[in-house]
Amino acid sequence: MIDINIIRTNRELVEKNLKNKYQENKLPVLDEILELDKQVRELKINGDNLRQERNKTSDEIGLLYREKKTEEANEKKERVREINTELISIEKQEEELSAKLKELMMTIPQIIDDTVPIGKDDTENVEIEKYGEPLVPNFEIPYHADILESISGLDKDASGRTSGNGFYYLMGDAARLSSAMLSYARDFMIDKGFTYCIPPFMIRSNVVSGVMSFAEMENMMYKIEGEDLFLIGTSEHSMIGKFKDQIIKESSLPITMTSYSPCFRKEVGAHGIEERGIYRVHQFEKQEMIVICKHEEAMEWYNKMWSYTVELFRSMDIPVRTLECCSGDLADLKVKSCDIEAWSPRQQKYFEVGSCSTLGDAQARRLGIRTKGENGTYYVDTLNNTVLANTRALIALIENNYNEDGSINIPEVLRPYMGGKEKIIPNKR
């Protein structure tokens, strides 16, 4: 949610931003917003004027009674009653119109950074840089589900019986490798100076609406029936929500945190759920990072954050690249975003394993997260980035460390978490 002052004073910028994001259909909403804003401000002025009159009249009533001017005092009392009635009506109107104004304001996307490439959808995202040589071996690499089944590491038949499509059982060395990556990612981020946290895995609706757009919520979140609780789709939601309605000391900034959580996603949309593998599923585990900082520090942190994910994957012998998300691929709350993609030697192309975003003060404005410094109180900037999502990272790792004999090399950095084991040997081919 942008500052309404931007619409009041620089409507051309907002209109340009809507066009750059291919959301011209929202242009008429700006007229509605400005009209509602005008009405709300007029109601506020009327209400303030009436309160001033009431205070003044109340003072006069006491004086009139002391002067034994009872009739005049009673007339003033009647006027106070009239004012109270008027105020009830004005406050009700103001509350209703303010709620409608906020609802419309939440549909207007954040002003994107000047460096964001203009494009309609993810097909127009721009490659920034490749890290590591994307090699293709001279032998065939099986589909990742087949590799996992060869080490008795995946059972989707059983999860289909217990939970349906989009779930999985990881077992044995596959499960251990998944946990090893998450533990390594945790320690990697702690070594970068981030505070480790395990957050709530369910959050209330007023936190959900504070951290994401309505469209994202509808397509992602699972609602707990009969309760005002949602399962998180990423721990960013509860991590940012931790600071809801708080005023943070400016001296405490930046706040840098890394968190572990399971993640639950409907995955509603064109992609669908993968039948056999674990690339797109309803449940996975993730190590996340968030930063809360001053606006002028946000871009520096943004560049640090995605570089940490690149460094992490390269340390596990996985080639990656970064992609700049174009304007049409940015969610409404995002100022700038890039995807980190891992190389798939089987498919001979890259696939997404993480995403880094800076959201300006959009989430902070919705959730009321501010800081107080020498120059007063202001909204903070929030950023988030995937450190590692276990399922996609597991696919990338086993493909890039797969040997012709069917064994899987365990990257050196993960061996301490695997009891010193250097290879996983298939038990069925």
pLDDT digits (tens, 9 = 90+) for 272-315: 666 789 999 999 999 999 999 999 999 999 999 999 999 999 99
378: phi then psi, degrees, rounded to nearest 5: -150, 165
| pLDDT at residue 36, rounded to an integer | 97
Alpha-carbon span 137 to 208, nearest angstrom: 45
Alpha-carbon span 422 to 429, nearest angstrom: 20
Architecture (CATH level 2) of domain 122-424: 2-Layer Sandwich (3.30)
DSSP 213: -
Beta carbons within 8 Å of 420's beta carbon, 6+ residues apart: none
Domain boundaries, the chain: 4-105, 122-424
- Cα distance between the two ends of the chain: 54
Q: What is the pLDDT of residues 69-102, one digit of tens each?
A: 888 888 889 999 999 999 999 999 999 999 999 9
Predicted confidence (pLDDT) at residue 262 exceeds the cutoff of 80: yes
Q: What is the arithmetic mean of pLDDT over 101-109?
A: 94
Q: Is-above-0.85 flag for pTM? A: yes
For 4-105, the fitting CATH number among 3.90.1150.10, 2.40.37.10, 1.10.287.40, 1.10.150.120 is: 1.10.287.40
Within this chain, domains 4-105 and 122-424 share the same CATH topology:
no
Closest among 243, 220, 224, 245 to 233, alpha carbons compared: 220
